[in-house]
Amino acid sequence: MVGPRIHQLPAALVNILSVVAACLEHQDPSSPAATTAQPITSTEPLTTPTGNSTTLTTTTQLPSTVAANTPTTTSQPATIANSTTSTVLPSTTLPSKVVIDNTLPSGTNPLNNSISTVTWLGYQTANNSCSHRDLGFTGKLGGKWYSIFGDTLWAAPGVTDMFLDPPGFHGMVRDSISLLTDDPLTVIDLYLNNDKPVPHQLQFVPFVEEWGETNQYGFGGTSLCEVDEETGMGVLYYLVNGNESRGLIGAGVAQVELVDDVPTVTRRYGEQGWWWDSNKTARYGDQIAYRDEKSEYIYILGGPPNYISDWGNLNYHYLARVKAKDAFDLGAYEYYWGKQKGWRKEVLDRFDTETAVMWGTGQGQVHWSEYWGCYLLVHLGIAGGAVFIRTADNLEGPWTPDVQIFQATPIDDGLVYAGVAHPYLDETGKTLVVSYTNNNHIEVLKVEFAGGLR
């Protein structure tokens, strides 16, 4: 069926990481970074595939006392080559046109210098199955929290410890769901098959053959977003990835209902199982999906359409929203056209620094922090294994500069990506558990904040 371990990455990630993979250093997985974050030591310029040079500037301040965190600021390139519509005309001949950039970091990040400890807790595993996997975005449904994983690579028959899994392909599904517990290192896998003695997970969002989908198709899902707490109904956003044959096809939604107390996909929307054509519109919901706790809306973010493929422009994020109760009504969605034009019913068809809300976070997760009184976005940037948090008062932005909370050590030169928040573990927000994917292992951190409410 399929071959190597890491083969179903978001196309965006593959593009980006092929550029920077050379920067990642080999590390022994049996000796993880433990409880001490490592400072970023290099500020290598990254070169775009088109040859345009873009610099990721990283400023590292080492606290004089040994602290677990290393607050770091990252700044995006001041100009991204070939922004689709922004043009600077020579001022000598014509009045210069103002390039609106709504994605630039703004204000101060309250977490800066306010992180007392960051502890590497370990690897998240299931206590009733064994697989290697990625993502694991958290979401609430009917009062319980679940995580949605992407590619789920089964361990060999009978293996219960993923570090003792022999090499080779032992079967997989493209997405899966697990029930979260009070211990962020333990999840309970749902939809197990009959493998003995160790069962493995079945696929959560089913393929539909009549739409041409096969088991080679990817479904990078983000968070489960609650639509109706009473009945335990939710919506799951995903991106149909036709792989080498068809590329990214479209972003869509599935309806999730509790069937015998287990979240179950009961319907996929759209004539072909998706709504937003990846050839034309943003891949809404592919990067972030968030059921806003402070309003009645679900906010979804995604990258630009397929025709935008250069590294700089590929990394902008576009925003849409819908009232949670209307999540299955495509006509009820609103699209953000930037601070100047605001929310519109018209689907966004201009992809530039004015209509984007941020740049360069990859997949991540947003939640409202009671402790800080603002939204926090946990993400891993676009490469390199640094774990960041940026904040905002509004989901439209502007977002503050990032504070780096940790530097992960890539396992076997693998990819480190997809920031996940576990806010349900401490509703006061004084501590925050964060997880991320390190070469198909889910690593977990606990952050303790200092400083207090603003």
Ligand X SMILES: *[C@@H]1O[C@H](CO)[C@@H](O)[C@H](O)[C@H]1NC(C)=O
Is residue 55 a contact point for ligand X (CB under 6 A)?
A: no
Residues near ligand X (CB under 6 A), total: 29
Which of these ranges, 115-123, 237-245, 380-388, 446-454, lies near ligand X under the rule CB under 6 A?
237-245
Out of 19, 20, 162, 188, point to the residue binding ligand X (CB under 6 A). Answer: 188
Out of 195, 228, 310, 396, point to the residue binding ligand X (CB under 6 A). Answer: 310
Is residue 277 a contact point for ligand X (CB under 6 A)?
A: yes
Q: Which residues contact 184 (CB under 8 A, 6 or more apart)?
A: 121, 124, 422, 425, 433, 435, 444, 446
- Shortest separation between residue 360's beta carbon and ligand X, angstroms: 15
43 vs 50, beta carbon nearer ligand X: 50
What's the CA angle centered on 408, arms 103 and 240, to 5 degrees?
60
Distance separating alpha carbons of residues 343 and 355, to the nearest angstrom: 10
224 three-state secondary structure: strand
Is residue 243 a contact point for ligand X (CB under 6 A)?
A: yes
Is residue 106 a contact point for ligand X (CB under 6 A)?
A: no
The answer to whether residues 137 and 223 touch, using CB atoms and an 8 Å cutoff, is yes
Distance separating alpha carbons of residues 153 and 404, to the nearest angstrom: 30
Is residue 347 a contact point for ligand X (CB under 6 A)?
A: no
Is residue 99 a contact point for ligand X (CB under 6 A)?
A: no
Is residue 195 a contact point for ligand X (CB under 6 A)?
A: no
Distance separating alpha carbons of residues 103 and 77, to the nearest angstrom: 11
Is residue 113 a contact point for ligand X (CB under 6 A)?
A: yes
Is residue 4 a contact point for ligand X (CB under 6 A)?
A: no
What are φ and ψ of residue 5, in 5° steps? -55, -60
Distance separating alpha carbons of residues 241 and 397, to the nearest angstrom: 29
Burial grade of 166 (CB within 10 A; 0-12, 13-18, 19 or more): exposed
Out of 181, 203, 264, 431, point to the residue binding ligand X (CB under 6 A). Answer: 181
Take residue 140 and report the two structure tokens written for it: 């609430």
Out of 25, 28, 161, 244, point to the residue binding ligand X (CB under 6 A). Answer: 244
Is residue 2 a contact point for ligand X (CB under 6 A)?
A: yes
Q: Which residues contact 261 (CB under 8 A, 6 or more apart)?
A: none
- Shortest separation between residue 37's beta carbon and ligand X, angstroms: 15
The pattern of x and - marking residues 75 through 94 that bind ligand X according to CB under 6 A reads: ------xx------------
Distance separating alpha carbons of residues 318 and 356, to the nearest angstrom: 5
- Shortest separation between residue 98's beta carbon and ligand X, angstroms: 18
Nearest by Cα to 404 from 71, 128, 91: 71
Out of 41, 42, 51, 65, point to the residue binding ligand X (CB under 6 A). Answer: 51
- Binding site residues, ligand X, CB under 6 A: 2-3, 7-8, 50-52, 71, 73, 81-82, 108-109, 112-113, 127-128, 181, 186, 188, 216, 243-245, 277, 279, 310, 401, 403
